[in-house]
Amino acid sequence: MQEAWSKVTNAVVDFITTADIRHLSQEVIHQGKRCLIDGLGVILSGSTAECSIIVRNHIKAVSGIPVATILGKETIRVPARYAALANGTSGHAMDFDDTQLSKSPDRIYGLLTHPTIPPLTASLAVGEMMSVSGLKFLEAFLTGFEVECKIAEAIDPSHYKKGFHTSGTIGTFGAAASSAKLMNLKREQIARVLGIASSCSSGIRVNFGTMTKPLHVGRAAENGVIAADLASMDFTADAEALDGQWGYFQIYGGGFDPEKIVDCLGNPHTIVDPGVSVKPYPCGVLGHPSMDAMLKLVIDHDIQPEQITAVKLRAGSNILNPLRYKKAKNELEAKFCLPFMLSSIVIRRKAGVREFTDEFVSSKPVQQMMEKVETILDPEVEAKGFDKIRSTVEVYLEDGRHLVQAADEKYRGGPERPFTRDELYQKFTECAELVLSEDAIQKAIEIIESIEKIKSVQQLIHAISPY
């Protein structure tokens, strides 16, 4: 164990240094593009959220040399760190960004990261500043993505259980790795990047359901850019900051599994195996199978809201603890409120960006329906473990019927039931149409799908901006 502890920082540095897109499989490239489509779409939709507007207003008051673009209806050019901050916050503002899956049954669903947004927004900011090619941008994104996922997979589950938000803490390393790759830093500088990132890593789960949760991801992206920028100017940090008694893994997690990172960075790439989950709903992924179960009941039995007398959702603590709000007062709480998630499905038979609004959440029909929903810790579900998202939805109707639907463990959007190309396009369109025209949306998809062929990442920025 001690030998492994002394190798982990070097393993990460080696991977970042030697990562080369020419050696990647077509499946890694394909999945990377799917994550770009999904990630850029949710950034555009999230740019309209109130928390994103507040962050942009903050940046306007403090920004400096304009070298990178904040995406949204109003495009603003700012220093790279602030573009990463703003776009990173937007990318998580609606909680619509993808989620990493784990290979280990002891990793509670929700423990791992939202892997795309930190390396994506850092790569956009630094890539635009340096006017890199689309191929170089994609390489950096995939490098940061893999580093983030493997650190999240390796760290002891106590990291998440005791309250850290991994998308903020470990997302910092994804952004830092992407930034370091784009800046062409030397090996010793990359080690320092990881050291600086280790001290910048932050984010706690108490802020779920508030504007600060998406800020975690924005700060992860910004801190990654800052770490690489400082290291490029020979700012010092411990060169083995992930290792040993005082290293990141021990302090933040109480340890880690060396075999999940030391010899397996890029072998295989997490983006392919076990893959990522693309969200069908803009809320906590742990509620999605339950929402689909409710949708099946509503459609199969043509249930109308006024017919329902009660709804019972039976699940384990891995679902009920993170989705902790019993009755949401606003859209931020609604993202972590199972009664709202099910109520939206009952009332509108969908739960998209137009349902997760303060107006809809606070409406009388929704508030009344949430009163009918009870969440129950089910010992039988709990005993099955946390390797799957398991739940059962029960609906009681006025005519005496009692309808039951178990959630599908092979949930929609996951690697076992991935979005089709059309479904992915539909999600991008739903998100992007809040900012872009119909013609611009189609052009943006074409640019993203041919990202490795464009001469400058600025072409991508232009395609996803409402110029």
The distance of Cα 461 from the centroid of its chain, to the nearest Å, equals: 20
Residue 93 tokens read as 């503002």
**Statement: the pTM of the whole predicted model exceeds 0.75:** yes
- Do 303 and 395 contact (CB within 8 A), yes or no? yes
DSSP-assigned beta bridge partners for residue 376: 314
- Do 465 and 437 contact (CB within 8 A), yes or no? no
**Dist. CA 415–CA 423, nearest whole Å:** 14
Is there a domain that residue 446 lies in? yes
Is there a domain that residue 413 lies in? no
Query: What domain range includes position 320?
Result: 285-406
Is there a domain that residue 412 lies in? no
**Dist. CA 400–CA 392, nearest whole Å:** 19
Indicate if the pLDDT at residue 105 is higher than 90: no
Indicate if the pLDDT at residue 91 is higher than 60: yes
- Could you tell me if 15 and 136 lie in one domain? yes
- Do 145 and 119 contact (CB within 8 A), yes or no? yes
- Could you tell me if 233 and 324 lie in one domain? no
Is there a domain that residue 194 lies in? yes
- Could you tell me if 324 and 434 lie in one domain? no
Measuring CA to CA, which residue among 129, 215, 214 is closest to residue 178?
Answer: 129
41-78: string of b/e by CB count within 10 Å (b at 16+)?
bbbbbbbbbebbbebbeebeeebeeebbbbbbeebbeb
11 contact partners, CB below 8 Å, separation of at least 6: 261, 262, 263, 265
CATH assignment of the domain containing 235: 1.10.4100.10
Domain count of the fold of the chain = 2
Indicate if the pLDDT at residue 63 is higher than 70: yes
* 5 to 143, 165, 243, 388: CA distances (angstroms): 22, 23, 5, 30
pLDDT at 386 (0 to 100): 85
CATH assignment of the domain containing 359: 3.30.1330.120
Is there a domain that residue 450 lies in? yes
Phi, psi values for residue 204, rounded to 5°: -125, 145
pLDDT at 45 (0 to 100): 97
Is there a domain that residue 25 lies in? yes
Is there a domain that residue 417 lies in? no
- Could you tell me if 154 and 243 lie in one domain? yes
Model confidence band, residue 4 (pLDDT cutoffs 50, 70, 90): very low
**Dist. CA 119–CA 254, nearest whole Å:** 25
Model confidence band, residue 2 (pLDDT cutoffs 50, 70, 90): very low
- Could you tell me if 452 and 388 lie in one domain? no
pLDDT digits (tens, 9 = 90+) for 367-396: 999 999 999 999 999 999 888 899 999 999
- Could you tell me if 263 and 298 lie in one domain? no
Measuring CA to CA, which residue among 107, 119, 219, 94 is closest to residue 161?
Answer: 107
Model confidence band, residue 107 (pLDDT cutoffs 50, 70, 90): confident
**Dist. CA 237–CA 297, nearest whole Å:** 56
- Could you tell me if 304 and 332 lie in one domain? yes
Question: Could you please report the per-residue DSSP string of 281-349?
Answer: SSS-GGGHHHHHHHHHHHHHTT--GGGEEEEEEEE-HHHHTTS--SS-SSHHHHTT-HHHHHHHHHHHS
Query: Checking DSSP bridges between strand 391-397 and strand 308-315, what pairing results, if any?
Result: antiparallel
pLDDT at 6 (0 to 100): 56
- Could you tell me if 243 and 332 lie in one domain? no
- Could you tell me if 176 and 291 lie in one domain? no
- Could you tell me if 217 and 345 lie in one domain? no
Beta carbons within 10 angstroms of residue 272's beta carbon: 16
3-state SS record for 401-413 = CEEEEECCCCCCC
Is there a domain that residue 224 lies in? yes
